[in-house]
Amino acid sequence: MFERLTSIPFSHILRHKSTQNFIFLLIIQASNILISLMAMPLLIQAIGVDRFGLVSLALSVILIANVFVGFGFNLSGPREIALNQKNKKALSQVLSQIISSKLVLALIASMALLLSVFGFGLFPEYRAILTFSILMLFSEATLPVWFFQGMERMRLVSVANVFSKLLYLMGIVLFINGPEDAKLVNFFFGGAAFTINLLLLTYVHYELGVKFYLPQFSKITKTWKSNVYLFLSNLANHISVNGGIVILSFFAPASMLGMYSLAERVSLMLRMLPSMMIGAIYPNASKLYQNDLERFYGFLVKVYRGAVFLALFVGLLTNLLAPFIIKVLSKSDMAASVVFLRILAFVPLFATMNIANMIMILVANQKKILFKSSWTFCIYMVIVAVSLTSWLGGKGLAIAMLSTELVIFITCSLLLRQTKPVLFKTFYAKAFGRDYHS
């Protein structure tokens, strides 16, 4: 296998659109990680670990609401764009319907959160922080990364993301001076992203010739109906991946939330690796699946093997360097955070194991498989996380999150094997060097 990988010309690999997609997605996430690494110690020193935990908790609530705003368009959007790359009329229709749909959903989510906060008195400990975080809903609604993914033109959006994060960091440095400023942290994050997103959409409209218009409301509701399964799948997946800190908040004080969220953020940054892989190869995989099934298998096998080896290396390295990472981020020795991070270090590896399943589900448009698998492991995560967290605290939650990723892989494999047996068996036979004949 190694000889086959090294026989491919390096220049050919770099010129491949999927590789370029991955590189620019990597730049996006690398800038996110770098800015987060710079911001975390500044925030902890300025607002304290207790407030940092509350900011993270408010962020978790907003991210769940963002799943509603996104409504699965991050999965359906790139595919629609990839299949219509040269049809500007179709591109204009897809862009207008998705952006309009997400803006309406952002408005609904904002009203629901404000009603929850001021009407029903929910989230009393971080009411102000959550209210100022609502701007992040509109930054999600206007986020055009899915469009550039489908067009396989990620260079501009990667540069724009860097500027967005630098604006966010500048806001922290200039205006976050004490615990009372904690409410501005997520506001700066959402405001910087929203500003850059509007500039990107302006570029798409004027430079790429893809027009934006307000579609009929019936068109908007039609997009919601077609994406219901993707939305519910994304919701379940988000709860499974990001809902841990909310569960921990019922069993631990704010200081423990801060220590766990520190380790969790490192893990979530690393977990972006499989997400980036899927985002990078999804457009090309969709076209290959439609036009050349044999090339689709070969392409996916190469990506899968490389991704698993990379994730294994990253997991082992993170586990080994956990004390150093926590020391750098917190400027102190947080033994509990080190324990959490040593366990969570292998979350990206288990998540990477499921890359091939996800690509096969998406290109085959198997929304019901995604729905069934997502809610199966979501229910598992909630039950196991509550049980282990009540027993072992943050350590139990970390173990639950790790086991959830394994259950995700097993569930997707079983459902895909049952629904698309030839696709599933042929891929894994090729991936492990065997021949499969239907």
Predicted confidence band of residue 139 (pLDDT cuts 50, 70, 90)? very high
Asked if the structure places residue 135 within a domain, the reply is: yes
Mark whether 221 and 256 lie in a shared domain. no
Same domain, 222 and 248: no
Phi, psi of 214, rounded to the nearest 5 degrees = -85, 110
pLDDT grade, residue 26 (50/70/90)?
A: low
Q: What gap in Å lies between CA 409 and CA 289, rounded to an integer?
A: 22
Q: Is the distance from CB of 217 to CB of 97 less than 8 angstroms? A: no
Contact 334, 265 (CB under 8 A): no
Same domain, yes or no, for 402 and 265? yes
Q: What is the residue type of 263?
A: A
283 shares a domain with 214: no
144 and 115, same domain (yes or no) = yes
Is the same domain home to 200 and 328? no
Check whether residue 402 and residue 267 sit in a common domain: yes
Which tens digits make up the pLDDT trace of 239-264? 877 778 778 888 888 778 878 888 88
Lowest mean pLDDT of 34-48, 126-140, 197-211, 294-308, name the range: 34-48
Q: CA-to-CA distance for 162 and 168, rounded, in angstroms?
A: 10
Q: Is residue 125 part of a domain?
A: yes
pLDDT over threshold 50, residue 17? yes
**pLDDT tens for each residue of 368-399:** 888 888 888 889 999 999 999 999 888 999 99
Do 193 and 297 share a structural domain? no
**Predicted pLDDT at 1:** 44
CA 408 to chain centre: 15
Q: What is the maximum alpha-carbon separation in the chain? A: 65
Helix (H) or strand (E) holding 166: helix 155-175
- Pick 8 or 149 by higher pLDDT: 149
187 and 55 Cβ atoms separated by less than 8 Å: no
Say if residues 204 and 147 touch (Cβ distance below 8 Å).
Answer: yes
Residue 47 has pLDDT above 60, yes or no: yes
d(CA 332, CA 225): 50
Q: Phi, psi (5° rounding) for residue 213?
A: -145, 165
- The answer to whether the CB of 405 falls within 8 A of the CB of 273 is no
pLDDT single digits (tens) 192-207: 999 999 999 999 999 8
Examine the domain organization and report whether 257 and 355 are in the same domain.
yes
Residue % of the chain over a pLDDT of 70: 91
What's the mean per-residue pLDDT of the chain? 85
Average pLDDT value for residue range 13-24: 58
Instruction: Calculate the CA 111 to chain-centre distance.
Output: 24
- Of the candidates 62, 60, 388, 347, the residue with the CA atom closest to the CA atom of residue 251: 388
Q: Is the pLDDT of residue 12 over 60?
A: no
What is the Cα–Cα distance from 292 to 302, expressed in whole angstroms? 16
- Which runs of E-coded beta strand occur in 36-100? none
Look at 188 and 282; give whichever has higher pLDDT.
Answer: 188
Task: Judge if 209 and 248 occupy the same domain.
Answer: no
* The total number of structural domains that make up the chain: 2
Distance CA 309, CA 395 (A): 26
Asked which of 170, 201, 226 is the last residue of a domain, the reply is 226
81-128: per-residue pLDDT in tens?
888 888 889 999 999 999 999 999 999 999 999 998 888 887 777 888
CA dihedral 13, 16, 20, 26 (to 10 degrees): -50
Contact 140, 11 (CB under 8 A): no
Task: Give a yes or no: residue 355 inside a domain.
Answer: yes
The secondary structure of 323-391 as a DSSP string is HHHHHHHHSS--HHHHHHHHHHTTHHHHHHTTHHHHHHHHHTT-HHHHHHHHHHHHHHHHHHHHHHHHH
Q: Looking up tokens 């899927």, which residue turns up?
A: 278
The domain boundary residue, chosen from 202, 226, 250: 226
State yes or no: pLDDT of 58 exceeds 80: yes
Domain boundary among 178, 193, 226: 226
Quote the domain boundaries for residue 261.
Answer: 242-438
| Cα–Cα distance, 357 to 44 (Å, whole number) | 39
Q: To which H or E segment does residue 105 belong?
A: helix 88-114
Most confident of 102-106, 116-120, 172-176, 434-438: 102-106
Do 301 and 215 fall within a single domain? no
For residues 213 and 250, state if they share a domain. Answer: no
- 16 within domain boundaries: no
Average pLDDT, integer, range 30-36: 70
**pLDDT at residue number 33:** 67
Report the range of poorest mean pLDDT among 51-60, 63-72, 238-247, 314-323: 238-247
The answer, yes or no, to whether residue 151 has pLDDT greater than 70, is: yes
Question: In whole angstroms, what is the distance from residue 197 CA to residue 195 CA?
Answer: 5
Token digits of residue 154: 């990620």
